[in-house]
Amino acid sequence: LYKLSSEQLSQQRHYDFGLRAVKSVLVMAGEAKRSRSDLPEDAILIGAMRDANLPKYLDDDLPLFNAIVRDLFPRSEIPMKEHKELEAGISMALRKDNKQEIPAFMNKVVQLFETFQVRFGVMLVGPPGGGKSTIYRTLQSAMNDLKEAGSQDERFQRVHTHVLNPKSVTMGELYGEVNKLTQEWKNGLASSIMREVIKDASEDKHWVTFDGPVDALWIENMNTVLDDNMTLCLSNGERIKLKSEMRMLFEVQDLEVASPATVSRVGIVFVAPSQLGYLPYLHSWILRYTEPTKDEKKGDGDPLVAEKEVLVLPDS
């Protein structure tokens, strides 16, 4: 399957069909086997192969991939995984945040959740405005809500995000450096965040989010983090061992300059703007301005709101 996929699908920098990808399939299959022991083993394996790969494909490659799976395993009918609880949580989180419940968008949130289960580092890849930030924020708020509502599923825990832009600071400021004049060690942004996070002894999850372009320099230091040993090595020889509750989340536009070593270490969720379109954005915008208008009718709005109403009404 992987050989055919790498030959027939389009060439993308974020596609990877190496051994690490196979390992994540095995982890996923193992989990599925434990939770659904009624299914035959080959169906579980094929399902895991499909679920591990779908998140990263472009829209055009999806039918091709499905065709390859059908050709290779013509007789097996593999049920889709169910996420009733999570989907309810996502719907609630979207409504609370005045966002539209687009099926393709909610599917991406579920895929992000699934990828988080099998990978330590996850990249949300896609052009600007595709809803990458909204996807992880929605998942975060859905998981918080589910935990609050007393969900039995231990995968839902309270989530904290730590967002930083790796390209807005220098390498030294990111990971720490030795001051050349005083020979003193100065802590970096990423390393101090991680040091803070590992002090937390609770079950809460922490997502360290790198929101900004990937380049070969800063991401190479993350390679040891994204490995199975999960250790951040700093240039003063210090090693920070990260916890399994943590996740590294990268929000990037493309992986043009990322090395294959990095790409193979992370799980990838591709977010195409075409899945969202502009309509949800418009609907949310209209809703945002129509609600104050009701207050205005009651007589406790301010004149500014009235002005916005004039702007909005012709559209709606």
Ligand X SMILES: Nc1ncnc2c1ncn2[C@@H]1O[C@H](COP(=O)(O)OP(=O)(O)OP(=O)(O)O)[C@@H](O)[C@H]1O
Which partner, Mg ion, ligand X, none, binds residue 284 by CB below 5 to 8 Å per kind?
Answer: ligand X
Give CA–CA dist 234/189, Å, rounded: 12
Q: Which residues contact 100 (CB under 8 A, 6 or more apart)?
A: 94, 279, 280, 283, 284
Closer CB to Mg ion, 133 or 157, in the complex? 133
Tally the residues of the chain: 316
* Residue 103 touches ligand X, criterion: CB under 6 A: no
- Told to check if 133 binds Mg ion by CB under 5 A, we report yes
Which option in Mg ion, ligand X, none does residue 281 bind, with CB closer than 5 to 8 A by kind?
Answer: ligand X
Residue 133 burial (10 A CB sphere; 0-12, 13-18, 19+): middle
Contact status: 100 vs Mg ion (CB under 5 A) = no
Q: Does 172 bind ligand X (CB under 6 A)?
A: no
**47 scored as a contact of ligand X (CB under 6 A):** no
Exposed e or buried b per residue across 181-196, where buried means at least 16 C-beta atoms within 10 angstroms of its C-beta: eeeeeebbbbbebbee
Q: How many residues interact with Mg ion (rule CB under 5 A)? A: 1
In three-state secondary structure terms, 275 is helix
| Residue placing its CB nearer to ligand X in the complex, 67 or 279 | 279
Minimum CB–partner distance for residue 47 and ligand X (Å): 27
Minimum separation from the CB atom of position 101 to ligand X (A): 7
Helices (H), the chain: 2-8, 19-35, 41-53, 61-72, 84-96, 103-118, 132-148, 171-175, 189-199, 216-220, 223-226, 260-265, 273-276, 279-298, 303-312
Binding mask 227-266 for ligand X (x = CB under 6 A): ----------------------------------------
CB of 280 to Mg ion, least distance (A): 16
Contact string 130-169 vs ligand X (x = CB under 6 A)? xxxxx-----------------------------------
Work out whether 284 is an interface residue with ligand X (CB under 6 A): yes
Place of tokens 């703007």: 273
Of 130 and 267, the one with the shorter C-beta distance to ligand X is: 130
What are the two backbone dihedrals, phi and then psi, of residue 75, each rounded to the nearest 5 degrees? -95, -10
Considering the rule CB under 6 A, would residue 277 count as an interface residue with ligand X? no
Handedness of CA 10, 267, 85, 136 (dihedral sign): negative
| Residue 34 neighbours by CB distance under 10 Å | 8
Vertex 120: Cα angle to 258 and 266 (nearest 5): 25
User: Contact 154/302 with Cβ under 8 angstroms?
Assistant: no
- CA-CA distances (angstroms) from residue 57 to 25, 111, 267, 271, 281? 16, 12, 12, 9, 24
Stretch that binds Mg ion, among 47-55, 111-119, 133-141, 156-164 (CB under 5 A): 133-141
Judged by CB under 6 A, the residue of 2, 73, 185, 281 near ligand X is 281
Q: Binding string, 187-226, against ligand X, x = CB under 6 A?
A: ----------------------------------------
Judged by CB, which is closer to ligand X: 83, or 243? 83
Only segment of 50-58, 97-105, 145-153, 188-196 that touches ligand X (CB under 6 A): 97-105
Q: What is the largest CA-CA distance in the chain?
A: 70
- Site residues (vs ligand X, CB under 6 A): 99-100, 102, 105, 126, 128-134, 276, 280-281, 284
- Site residues (vs Mg ion, CB under 5 A): 133
